[in-house]
Amino acid sequence: MRYRFLDYRYDPEQGLEGPAGRIVLRRSDNRLLQLLLEADGRTVPKDTLIASVWGGRDVSDDSLFQATRRLRTAMPGAPGTDVIQTIKGIGLRIGVVVRRLQADAPSVAPAFAPSSNLEAASSLSSAWELAARRTPRELDAAVEAAHVALRLEPDFVAAWWGLAIFQVMRAARMTAPPREAGAAALAAAGRALQLDANCSPALAARGWVRAVIEHDIGGGVADLDRSVQITDNYWLTRGLRGWGYIAAGRTMDAVTEVRTALDLNRWGNWYSGLLAQYLFFAGDRPAALSEARAAVERFPDVEISHMLSSIVASGVGLHEEAVAAGRRAMELAPDTPIVHTALACALARAGRSAEASDLILAIESRGIAAHCPWLATAYLALGQRDRAIDVLARAREVGSPQFVYAFVDPRLTDLNGDPAFEQLRPT
């Protein structure tokens, strides 16, 4: 029998898992938790617990107290609420709602199951911490940490799909050639799906690459839809499906997906500001501006908040606000040129042509960033229509994930109908 309560999952064989992954328990603490879960909310007498957990050995009440304290520390509940409650003079019970899951019920557990190898689990945990910082160096380190986990446990499904996501991030931020990172993401996702055909995040990673890098939009969206059908409450996959919907021109569906992702993980900064950008693409400018400002307030030290705020502010004509936000984004991510493109566009649209041109040259001198499609908005604002289309052509060639934004971005509507631009449009 398996159990779910709050954000925790317990399996007698696999142990306890929380929002951040596996929680390692002492043998006695593990047995105590299992007994309380099996009691289905009933109070278990102290003597029964001591006899069952410690095998009738002569142990003090303090042993039970210490085990209870460790479990409460490992599983914090809502403020003022203990997962494990002490019933004075009687014993202990579980104080939250617990769902029992049949062992043979359909499950996506392999995709999210922790490793029994503590070193592998620790390495994967470090990989996610590194990836959350998003710098080129730390994204590369996240990939290497995932590989370490897989060398320790080759069939670690969560490490395979984690590796796929880290490669997706490298492609999305253009810290690596997108087609190269996309191919690596497909390989890792494919291995995860061999081990667990219902691995929702692996399907999402594969679908994202197919839709926004390979422009197999129908196949990519099908993967993304299936991912959410399997697991509809994982914020990461909902956000990736939103990007796939942008590729399909379904801007309002994309808004819905990102809104859902943020509802599921309000304090996750990976998608900070993305809802504002998609609202802007969908034509709701007031809502986009309000959401952009709220994202900056919520995550003032996250570069993506300021970058997307700059894009929205520039798009609605608030040029000084756009320039200030773009500068702050650049300060927070000095080694990620794709982030700097927001400032280049803001300067160009503000009429500060010389500054915009200097920044564009600096960005284009830094390798793959020269193919970022957002530079097209800056070139168009500078009156260099042919250069704007040339950037988009190069973006398509290298597989830039942002390329699909070009066909819903209001800042590029002047290109609609131009044969050279229409020739690039994915079908």
Q: What is the 3-state secondary structure (H, E, C) of the chain?
A: CEEEECCEEEECCCEEEECCEEECCCHHHHHHHHHHHHCCCCCEEHHHHHHHHCCCCCCCHHHHHHHHHHHHHHCCCCCCCCCEEEECCCEEEECCCCEEECCCCCCCHHHHCCCCCHHHHHHHHHHHHHHHHCCHHHHHHHHHHHHHHHHHCCCCHHHHHHHHHHHHHHHHCCCCCHHHHHHHHHHHHHHHHHHCCCCHHHHHHHHHHHHHCCCCHHHHHHHHHHHHHHCCCCHHHHHHHHHHHHHCCCHHHHHHHHHHHHHHCCCCCCCCCHHHHHHHHCCCHHHHHHHHHHHHHHCCCCHHHHHHHHHHHHHCCCHHHHHHHHHHHHHHCCCCHHHHHHHHHHHHHCCCHHHHHHHHHHHHCCHHHHHCCHHHHHHHHCCCHHHHHHHHHHHHHHCCHHHHHHHCCHHHHHHCCCHHHHCCCCC
115 phi/psi in degrees, rounded to 5: -85, 145
Q: According to the model, what pLDDT value does residue 105 have?
A: 44
Token pair of 29, please? 């603490």
Cross-sheet strand order for the sheet of 44-45: 44-45, 91-94, 84-87
Cβ–Cβ < 8 Å for 221, 207: yes
Q: According to the model, what pLDDT value does residue 82 have?
A: 78
Token pair of 11, please? 């399996």
Cβ–Cβ < 8 Å for 306, 325: yes
Q: pLDDT tens digits for 55-92?
A: 766 667 788 888 898 998 888 865 556 789 888 888 89
User: From the CB of residue 42, how many other CB atoms can be counted at a distance below 10 Å?
Assistant: 10
What letter represents residue 421's amino acid? F
CA distance 280 to 359: 25
User: From the CB of residue 118, how many other CB atoms can be counted at a distance below 10 Å?
Assistant: 12
CA distance 36 to 119: 29
Domains (range + CATH), the chain: 2-105 (1.10.10.10), 106-266 (1.25.40.10), 281-427 (1.25.40.10)
Residue among 192, 189, 199, 253 at smallest CA distance from 221: 253
From residue 179, alpha-carbon distances to 131, 167, 174, 245, 365 in Å are: 19, 10, 10, 20, 20
Beta bridge partners of 99: 4
CA distance 274 to 256: 12
Q: Calculate the dihedral angle through the C-alpha atoms of 218, 220, 221, 222, rounding to the nearest 10 degrees.
A: 80
The segments of the chain whose pLDDT lies below 50 read 104-108
pTM: 0.74
Residue among 293, 290, 306 at smallest CA distance from 339: 306
Q: According to the model, what pLDDT value does residue 171 have?
A: 96
Q: According to the model, what pLDDT value does residue 103 have?
A: 52
Q: According to the model, what pLDDT value does residue 120 have?
A: 92
Q: According to the model, what pLDDT value does residue 108 have?
A: 41
From residue 200, alpha-carbon distances to 67, 158, 372 in Å are: 36, 11, 29
Buried b (16+ CB within 10 A) or exposed e, 251-280: bebbbbbbbbbbebbeeebbbbbbbbbbbb
